[in-house]
Amino acid sequence: MRDFSVTILGSSAALPYKNRNLTSQLVNYAGQLFLVDCGEGTQIQLMKLKVRFMRIHHVFISHLHGDHFYGLIGLVSTLHLLGRKDDLHIYGPAALEPIVSLQLEASLTSLSYRIIYHLTSGEENELIYEDERITITSFPMVHRIPTTGFLFAEKKYPRHINLETAEKYGVPYTAFNELKAGNDYFLEDGSVIANSLLTDEPVPPRSYAVCSDSLYNEELAYRIPGCNLVYHEATFMSDMAEVAKAKMHSTAAEAALFAKKAGAGKLLIGHFSARYDNLLPLLEEARLVFPETYLAEDGKTYQV
Amino acid sequence: MRDFSVTILGSSAALPYKNRNLTSQLVNYAGQLFLVDCGEGTQIQLMKLKVRFMRIHHVFISHLHGDHFYGLIGLVSTLHLLGRKDDLHIYGPAALEPIVSLQLEASLTSLSYRIIYHLTSGEENELIYEDERITITSFPMVHRIPTTGFLFAEKKYPRHINLETAEKYGVPYTAFNELKAGNDYFLEDGSVIANSLLTDEPVPPRSYAVCSDSLYNEELAYRIPGCNLVYHEATFMSDMAEVAKAKMHSTAAEAALFAKKAGAGKLLIGHFSARYDNLLPLLEEARLVFPETYLAEDGKTYQV
């Protein structure tokens, strides 16, 4: 099975706090790196973790609160200074492009590579990336400014060929792609060998949803069912529920309820307020509702 | 004598490198904090060093290359999130204001405090700050985009009153300000007591010059004579002199020659290229020309 994991680069909300950096995470799908959000200091975190910058081709920005994107311009500049040639795709709100451009113009910088901007909508689901193996969809969150989450979904694996049976029936290699796609095999005499005899069910496809800053949103939970892993912000604990609501953030218990309603396999909570030095109470609060909850920790990698 | 020191927050050029952060330094004059440049991660450095952010009222940006100012928007936002009320004065090129404003607008942020922008000129010396004790002057450097250095100069201390002599002649306290200013004292019978009898020479005023990114500029050295401490960039060593010239940076030897021509007391070199893991060769190169050279080290404080 292909590697599908997420490395937390920053788990802090609004302000950096001790060993918690500003929001950013790196999704690795079979060696392809997707950066989600890029708070100040993200490039420094990437260096510390020895991530090879040039392998990042896609950057997703959930919304334009500074703790989620003030590190983007520094990363863009560093890629230029390192002599990048490959295109960089940036997905996010429309105002990102002028913000990046204005800063590059101020330093008379003409980038060594091309940035291709893809606008996300804060209003509806959108397929924003697709290749042979995965799709990435943005979906609206409920926050003070237009904000999206991102769903990384593996495509169905091809059916798994049972080599012994295939040999027994004399099926040539050239027919394997048809079998993998689920088609039956026709012998020269016109008789049929059912696909189910020649192949096994593949492993089910996996999915990972990043739910950035948002009010608790039950309706959304129903729209991203059955993810293996959900990341959801948990800025506050329940005793701060009123503050959370006013700031359009979620509590740890709400993140857990979200994961429960969404039928998630596991939940990763992050985006912690700097008011919490010790995060265990947040973890405990969430686990009461959804036992398979884990704390996002800077520098740590979680399998999807 | 009042505290007059500089703390290096970042000594790295262009890219962050291991324990060297992007350019920023904090000048402390008698408890007043002046931030000079603000590369990405500056707010994190300030937190690590437990600097009380609210004590910073003046930020100086030498030029708009990203390694010198991409951390400004994060600091501005954090001050807002911390509920700052006091004005913040920002000194720098004209394009700073729209860059900051555009990013605040994108997040619908209306700051809790006022920013007052002061434009610096890349073409001539300007007195940009003055209070009872110090002046700050910006002066042009020679770089790829308009760039200024900053001279922090203590005003003359008042003359030091010799209390014994003053008592002997029956000089009242109310006359002390006149004596401090250098005036003679007139007795009631009209006779004069020379100021030099009643006061001693004060300690000489100190000065500190921050020479940010620049080609070696001998003419400038003559215009900031006799600083107790000069910070000068030393991005490269002499074997890279051609690259330094092409990029309009200085070598360690050039920084040292600058300090020598300027008659500086001490030289602090910084803004090191990420190509140098070990900085001792740069220090040695500079010390051959100007023995009183020191390396800028992140987190370290140097007395002026």
* Cα nearest neighbour of A103 on chain B: B99
Q: Looking at the predicted structure, is the pLDDT value of residue B28 above 90?
A: yes
A chain contacts of residue B108, beta-carbon cutoff 8 Å:
144-145
Mutation site for A-interface testing, chosen from B70, B84, B247 by largest number of A Cβ within 10 Å: B70
Lowest mean pLDDT across A28-32, B167-171, B240-244: B167-171
Point out the residue among B78, B95, B102 whose CB comes nearest to the CB of A99.
B102
State the pLDDT at residue B124.
Answer: 87
Which residue is catalytic, options B3, B37, B67, B189?
Answer: B67
B292 to chain A nearest CA, in Å? 32
| Beta strands in chain B, from DSSP E residues, in sequence order | 4-10, 24-29, 32-38, 56-60, 88-92, 115-119, 126-130, 134-140, 148-154, 160-161, 185-186, 192-193, 199-200, 207-211, 229-233, 266-270, 293-295, 301-303
Length of chain A: 304
Point out the residue among A40, A98, A144 whose CB comes nearest to the CB of B40.
A40
Topology (CATH level 3) of domain B4-157+203-303? Metallo-beta-lactamase; Chain A (3.60.15)
B chain contacts of residue A99, beta-carbon cutoff 8 Å:
102-103, 106
Does A53 touch chain B if contact means CB atoms closer than 8 Å?
no
What residues does CATH 3.60.15.10 cover in chain A?
4-157+203-303
pLDDT in tens, B41-69: 999 999 999 999 999 999 999 999 999 99
Residue B87 known to be catalytic: no
Share of chain B above pLDDT 70, in %: 100
In angstroms, rounded to a whole number, what is the distance separating the alpha carbons of residues A82 and A77? 9
Q: Looking at the predicted structure, is the pLDDT value of residue B122 above 90?
A: no
State the pLDDT at residue A296.
Answer: 98
Calculate the CA B72 to chain-centre distance. Answer: 17
Are residues B222 and B253 in contact, defined by beta-carbon separation less than 8 angstroms? no
pLDDT in tens, B245-298: 999 999 999 999 999 999 999 999 999 999 999 999 999 999 999 999 999 999
Token pair recorded at residue A29: 């799908």
Q: Helices marked H in B147-225 — which ranges?
A: 163-168, 176-180, 195-198, 218-223
Which contiguous run of DSSP H or E holds residue B117?
Answer: strand B115-119
In angstroms, rounded to a whole number, what is the distance separating the alpha carbons of residues A252 and A254? 5
B chain contacts of residue A40, beta-carbon cutoff 8 Å:
40-41, 43-44, 71, 74
Per-residue pLDDT of chain A (304 residues; tens, 9 = 90+): 899 999 999 999 999 999 999 999 999 999 999 999 999 999 999 999 999 999 999 999 999 999 999 999 999 999 999 999 999 999 999 999 999 999 999 999 999 999 999 999 878 899 999 999 999 999 999 999 999 999 999 999 999 999 999 899 889 999 999 999 999 999 888 889 999 999 999 999 999 999 999 999 999 999 899 999 999 999 999 999 999 999 999 999 999 999 999 999 999 999 999 999 999 999 999 999 999 999 999 999 999 9
